[in-house]
Structure 1
Amino acid sequence: MKRRTFMKGAAALAAGAMAPAGAMTLDRWRRLRRFVATPYGRIAVVEQGRGPAAALFLHGFPLSSFQWRDAVAALSAHRRCIAPDFMALGFTEPAPGQAVDADAQVAMLAHLLDTLDVRQADVIANDSGGAVAQLLTVRHPDRVRSLLLTNCDTEPDCPPPALKPVIDLSRTGRFVDEWLLPSVLDHRLARTKEGLGGQCYAHPGSPTDEAIDAYLAPLTASPARQALVHAYALALERNILQGIAPALKRARQPVRVIWGTADDIFSAATPAYLEQAFGNGRGVRRLAGYKLFWPEERPDVVVEEALALWGVSA
């Protein structure tokens, strides 16, 4: 998967646009993690904060809830923050034979909210998690109070053409061994131009060693885990958002979008599409120079936009 050399936004990055690192360490995240028993398996969940209002964080592929660590830490003063790992990713342990496609993920999330006694949540999502968030919004509208979307699938771009090599390798059972395992064995590879960092992050130091361990090590741990990752990727081949446009237009939840404009995984036309896609859209903010997984590098923007959407003073 070839990627353009990152150029735009270099000045902003050099000026220190990234949030300070280290607000939430991997060790602390591990200590916060617990497993919630459901019919779908043991769902790995990190919770922080208390109160009647909840926020649900949905991560990208092949990441885990650790993607949201610093945003969760900051927003826990305002919401009961709930960050699960999707089935097949992170540390969640799906039940034997459990499907891991988007439909199953939506059903799992609805059940998880019931189990956690959460009637409604403000949803924040990225990448394939954004597609799941859109499905959750239209299938369980009473569960979603608001929606903060970052770079993610849309009906016209689901899956994006850039995902085809991942799907093809997963079909032959080679994606994990050829794309993920080398970065687990040598973290520097993840930060090369052709690695996860070069493709999906703006800053040359991303992803950190801790993030690589959190995201990729569990996915390479056993043949069974690798098979689940391949199943997740293969489930992305179908346009899971086909026909969703009318329902999104009817939805009354406020929806705010923040888009990293240097993302070359999803279509550059997506921000313009999203500006008119929702019945209660609150506009699109464009982040020059940032790529697909910008929420990990700019948790400050996630926090700022979430509080504004929720009508909460910082």
Structure 2
Amino acid sequence: MTNTISPESPAAWRDPALGTRHELTLPQGTLTVFDSGSGDPVVFVHGLLVNANLWRKVIPPLAREYHCVAIDLPFGSHTTAMPDADLTAPGLAQLVIAAIEKLDLGPVTLVGNDSGGAVSQLVVAARPDLVARLILTSCDAYENFPPPFFNFVGLAARAPGGLTSLALSMRIRAVRRLPIAYGWLTHGPLDRAVGDSYVLPVSTKAIREDVRRVIGGIDSKYTLAAAKTFADFKKPVLLAWSAGDRFFPERYAERLAADFPDARIEWIHDSRTFSPEDQPAQLAAAITTFLNATRAESPR
């Protein structure tokens, strides 16, 4: 079984705007990251069935002032399988922690989206010393991990041949716009190259086995446990939340803002869950304003 997707495959394409590609050798396996810019480090964490391409339109304006690092986590749209890694939600958080330590970046500003936001919360709970500021866009939190609508993904992961059938169907671009795919996560269709990089890796057996383990390790017990530590995290937090999100209602942003001692909300308008796809300029502006306003509070 091959563990790596060919660099020439459309599944392996990453936007040059992400910066320089690096392969990190970690105890858990090989992790791909992209970095650009210089200054205070900002680390971007994507969620299930996307990869670092999610941040391709957000990073360039931020990289003018900050050192931006986007991680390709083994969420099913990655190119190198991690068969020996713990891919439960806490295991994914440990991958982010290992990457930050390997690159000697901490403390960082951590930016999470969707299930990557849940992972970011677990990073804060486990290693608050590595996080100078936290930015959560629309994401899983508390008992909403995963949102009830996505229980069908769990069923597909458990059913014989379920993930294989899902992977084959997602090759059809029209299927990608359905609610069971990316249709309710973005307002418009994904760029073809980006969509291919999200869905094609799951056709590889080793990658499919990774995502099966990831889905099996999603459980609200982890986010509920992490939430018990929020009161102790007194560093700045931005909730750059999509107004009217279908999967992550505004009440979750408000609940997070109440639980973190130093939190503020910035609503991202005319956007669904993937605000880096729908409103990258609006999101980048909100992040920049927050980073500049809290620069004096950063330990760097």
Give me the identity figure in percent: 23
Query: Are the aligned partners of 1:163 and 1:265 in contact in 2 as well (CA < 8 Å)?
Result: no
Query: Are the aligned partners of 2:133 and 2:235 in contact in 1 as well (CA < 8 Å)?
Result: yes
Partner of 2:267: 286
Q: SS of 1:118's equivalent?
A: coil
Instruction: Choose which of 266, 279, 289 in structure 2 pairs with 1:298.
Output: 279
Q: Deviations over 1:80-101 (max 9, x none)?
A: 1111111243335344332211
Residues 144-183 of structure 1: pairs in structure 2 closer than 5 A: 144-183=131-170
Instruction: Choose which of 217, 228, 231 in structure 1 pairs with 2:200.
Output: 217
Distance 1:227 1:173, change over 3 A: farther
Partner of 2:175: 189
Deviation of the 1:223 alpha carbon: 1.6
CA distance in 2, matches of 1:27, 1:157: 31
- The alignment status of 1:79 with 2:66, answered yes or no, reads yes
CA distance in 2, matches of 1:31, 1:272: 34
Q: Deviations over 1:119-174 (max 9, x none)?
A: 21111110111011111112111111111111111113222211211111111144
Distance 1:213 1:32, change over 3 A: farther
Gaps of 5+ in 2: 1-12, 295-300
Residues 1-314 of structure 1: pairs in structure 2 closer than 5 A: 26=14, 28=16, 32-51=20-39, 53-91=40-78, 93-184=80-171, 186-191=172-177, 193-194=178-179, 196-203=181-188, 206-220=189-203, 222-282=204-264, 284-311=265-292
CA distance in 2, matches of 1:312, 1:251: 18
CA distance in 1, matches of 2:57, 2:41: 17
Deviation of the 1:297 alpha carbon: 1.8
Deviation of the 1:34 alpha carbon: 2.4
Across the aligned residues of Structure 1 and Structure 2, the Cα RMSD in angstroms comes to 2.2
TM-score, length-normalised on structure 1?
0.82
Q: SS of 1:311's equivalent?
A: helix
Deviation of the 1:237 alpha carbon: 3.6
CA distance in 1, matches of 2:43, 2:90: 17
Q: SS of 1:36's equivalent?
A: strand
Deviation of the 1:195 alpha carbon: 5.0
TM-score, length-normalised on structure 2?
0.86
Task: Give the counterpart letter for 1:62 in structure 2.
Answer: L
CA distance in 2, matches of 1:30, 1:295: 13
CA distance in 1, matches of 2:92, 2:50: 15
Query: Are the aligned partners of 1:106 and 1:135 in contact in 2 as well (CA < 8 Å)?
Result: yes
Q: Deviations over 1:262-305 (max 9, x none)?
A: 322234532332231211112x2223442111222211122111
CA distance in 2, matches of 1:209, 1:109: 28
Q: Deviations over 1:30-49 (max 9, x none)?
A: 88322111111110111111
Task: Give the counterpart letter for 1:74 in structure 2.
Answer: P
CA distance in 2, matches of 1:240, 1:102: 7
Distance 1:312 1:244, change over 3 A: closer
Query: Are the aligned partners of 1:162 and 1:266 in contact in 2 as well (CA < 8 Å)?
Result: no
